[in-house]
């Protein structure tokens, strides 16, 4: 899929977004609030009459295909039950083939079976979002644009739906997902588009885009948040934490939804303790052996040390006194300890 979209919004803001997405199943779209993500989706879905669009999707322009969109606001018809809202979507779906089983799988995948008899006014925000997602899928789109579709859904249900959605995407329904949730973007998207001031400024694998986003933050506490990720180690998950592997080392996270094959852990630089000995046990649950990649300049008596192991990056903000006490040098192997 390729697109180039121009849409004047205000005197200060014009959307001017271009991207080329090859053979994708799920691509993330992220960026600061007001960057133009929803405007881009609305233009791609044909909802903006002032938009100038050049696009190519499979054979032909995008407007020759069925583009589904799920908004953050569910927009269900209030006078129909949930079942009525869903039936309406199936009535206008692309194919009239008997796909009863598919329809049931979609309703189950979106966790909506028990909601069918309810009125939209009797749904929670998260339930209404799940119904809106099912409605969009039942309509059999060829491309699905998801604008923070599960922002009101609890973490464990969201993880289950996201895993299922990714399978649906991999089976041939490409999706673009707007999200501010770093973990969702990291875990479920093949690549990320980063949008700033109406333009797509970067398209890369999630780790690189998220790292670049953090680096640009005006807040130094955000600039030095690292994300470690890796496959969950089977059988080592309990109610308290999940064990996963990162650069051949075991790590633990408390924030992991059951069922996900991969886990992520955000590590803020101020929470990282480093030592060179690696022998003395610490009360911190994670220990990660890594190398000192760079040592920053002192700022208010603190220094941020960049650490790396393979493709995993980590930061530790420690006192200038600690840097000298540890005789830290670039290339040193250290143990970084941090909470789960
Ligand atoms: N209907 C509209 N008419 C005029 N300007 C609009 C309209 N909708 C949005 N804008 C403006 O366009 C810009 C981009 O808004 P948009 O909603 O696309 O951003 P976003 O990246 O989706 O933000 P968020 O992450 O907060 O949802 C903003 O400056 C917004 O005020």
What is the per-residue DSSP string for 47-97? --TT-EEEEE-SSS-GGGS-EEEE-SS----TTS-HHHHHHHHHHT-S--S
DSSP secondary structure code for residue 180 in this structure: -
Taking the centre of ligand 1 as the mean of its atom positions, its distance from the CA of residue 36, in whole angstroms, is 5
The Å distance, Cα 195 to ligand 1 centre, comes to 12
Q: What is the pLDDT along the chain (340 residues), one digit of tens a residue?
A: 999 999 999 888 999 999 999 989 999 999 999 999 999 999 999 999 999 999 999 989 999 999 999 998 999 999 999 999 999 988 877 665 544 558 899 999 999 999 999 999 999 999 999 999 999 999 999 999 999 999 999 888 898 899 999 999 999 999 999 999 888 898 899 999 999 999 999 999 988 898 888 888 877 777 888 989 999 886 555 667 889 999 999 999 887 666 677 888 989 899 999 999 878 888 899 999 999 999 999 988 999 999 999 989 999 999 999 999 999 999 999 999 999 9
Three-state secondary structure readout of 89-134 = HHHCCCCCCCCHHHHHHHHHHCCCHHHCCCCHHHCCHHHHHHHHHH
- Going by alpha carbons, the residue nearest to atom 7 of ligand 1 is 9
Task: Say how many Å lie between the CA of residue 14 and the centre of ligand 1.
Answer: 10
> Which of 28, 36, 73, 179 has most ligand 1 atoms within 8 Å of its beta carbon, as the pocket-test mutant?
36
DSSP secondary structure code for residue 183 in this structure:
H
3-state class of 326 per DSSP? coil
Please name the residue whose Cα sits nearest to atom 31 of ligand 1: 34
Residue of 11, 38, 200 to mutate, ligand 1, most atoms within 8 A of C-beta: 38
Find, among 267, 324, 329, the residue nearest to 295 by Cα.
Answer: 329
* ipTM metric: 0.95
Contact of 26 with 190, CB cutoff 8 Å:
yes
- Residue of 14, 34, 194 to test ligand 1 pocket, by largest number of atoms within 8 Å of CB: 34
| Ligand 1 center to 68 CA (angstroms) | 20
Residues with CB under 6 A from ligand 1: 9-10, 13, 33-39
Q: Whose CA is nearest to atom 26 of ligand 1?
A: 33
The neighbour count for residue 326, using CB atoms within 10 Å, is 17
Neighbour-count burial for 179-194, b at 16+ CB within 10 Å, e otherwise: bebbbbbbbbbbbbbb
Report the atom number in ligand 1 closest to the C-alpha of 40: 18
pTM of the model: 0.81
DSSP string computed for 213-271: HHHH-SSHHHHTEEEEEEEEEEEEE-SS-EEEEETTEEEEES---TT-SEEEEEEEGGG
Give, using CA atoms, the residue closest to atom 10 of ligand 1: 9
For residue 176, what are the β-bridge partners?
27, 145
Which of 10, 15, 71, when mutated, tests ligand 1's pocket best, judged by the most ligand atoms within 8 Å of its CB? 10
Phi and psi, residue 65, nearest 5°: -120, 165
Task: Kindly tell me the number of DSSP H helices and DSSP E strands found in the chain.
Answer: 9, 18
């Amino acid at each position: 899929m390729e697109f180039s979209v121009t849409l004047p919004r205000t005197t200060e803001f014009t959307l001017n977004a271009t991207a080329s997405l090859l053979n994708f199943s799920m691509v993330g779209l992220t960026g600061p609030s007001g960057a133009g993500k929803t405007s881009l989706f609305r233009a791609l879905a044909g909802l903006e009459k002032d938009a100038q669009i050049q696009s190519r999707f499979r054979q032909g322009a995008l407007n020759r295909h069925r583009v589904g969109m799920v908004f953050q606001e569910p927009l269900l018809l209030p006078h129909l039950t949930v079942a009525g809202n869903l039936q309406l979507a199936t009535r206008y779906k692309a194919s009239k083939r008997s796909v009863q089983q598919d329809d049931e799988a979609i309703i189950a995948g979106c966790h909506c079976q028990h909601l069918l008899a309810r009125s939209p006014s009797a749904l929670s925000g998260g339930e209404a979002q799940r119904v809106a997602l099912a409605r969009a899928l039942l309509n059999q789109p060829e491309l699905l644009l998801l604008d923070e579709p599960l922002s009101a859904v609890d973490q464990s249900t969201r993880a289950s739906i996201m895993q299922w959605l990714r399978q649906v995407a991999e089976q041939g329904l490409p999706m673009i997902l707007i999200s501010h949730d770093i973990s969702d973007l990291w875990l479920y998207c093949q690549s990320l588009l980063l949008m700033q001031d109406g333009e797509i400024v970067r398209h890369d694998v999630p780790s690189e885009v998220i790292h670049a986003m953090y680096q640009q933050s005006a807040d130094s506490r955000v600039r030095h948040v690292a994300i470690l990720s890796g496959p969950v180690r089977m059988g080592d998950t309990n109610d308290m934490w999940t064990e996963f592997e990162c650069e051949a080392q075991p790590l633990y996270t408390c924030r992991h939804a059951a069922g996900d094959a991969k886990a992520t852990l955000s590590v803020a630089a101020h929470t990282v303790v480093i030592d060179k000995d690696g022998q003395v046990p610490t009360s911190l649950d994670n220990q990660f052996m890594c190398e000192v990649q760079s040592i920053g300049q002192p700022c208010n008596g603190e220094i941020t040390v960049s650490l790396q192991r393979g493709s995993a990056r980590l930061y530790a903000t420690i006192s200038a006194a600690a840097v000298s006490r540890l005789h830290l040098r670039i290339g040193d192997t250290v143990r970084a300890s941090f909470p789960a």
